[in-house]
Amino acid sequence: MNNLEIATLGGGCFWCVEAVFQDLKGVEKVVSGYEGGKIKNPTYREICSGMTGHAEVIQVHFDPTIISFDDILRVFFTTHDPTTLNRQGADRGTQYRSVIFYHSENQKTVSEKVIKEFATIWPDPIVTEVSPTSVFYEAEAYHQNYYKNHPNEGYCSVIIAPKVAKVRKLFAEKLR
């Protein structure tokens, strides 16, 4: 489809962020990867060192006539804590930062608007980085569709499943 847009988001472990978007109407594809760092073709092991500057991110390929970028961001801000700098739960380091890599001036404007909207909900200041997109590197194959491929694994059932359940409850009208 030629009318697809891309949203690039980081909110901790990309397995979690990927899983919450996969069942939304209008989302055609979700790809886990790395963005925002200083070396070319980073590996997961290099990212985990925290030395490359990359964030674990996902790219959401979506049809804006079915789901808006605003709604993509509302799901994003509902399913991670945008007030913790370089941390989500037990995951710590710059690779787990809350970040939006915008692909257009409109995405930048919408990101800033939605952050202001959510700033009234969160008790602490939102620290989500809003930066222009750079080079996206697709993560290794074993990271793709991780939750769908391993739903009974401990991390998936304890950490990811509640986030997916929250989306299914709060955004039921947006599900396939």
Of 13, 16, 48, 156, the active-site residue reads 13
Q: Tell me the C-alpha distance between 64 and 87, whole Å.
A: 30
Mean pLDDT of 124-149: 97
- Which helix (H) or strand (E) segment holds residue 10: the answer is strand 5-11
With bands split at pLDDT 50, 70 and 90, how would you rate the model's confidence at 90? Answer: confident
24-30: average pLDDT:
97
pLDDT over 80 at 1, yes or no: no
Fold of 5-174: Peptide Methionine Sulfoxide Reductase; Chain A (3.30.1060)
Query: Where are the domains positioned within the chain?
Result: 5-174
Catalytic residue check, 48: no
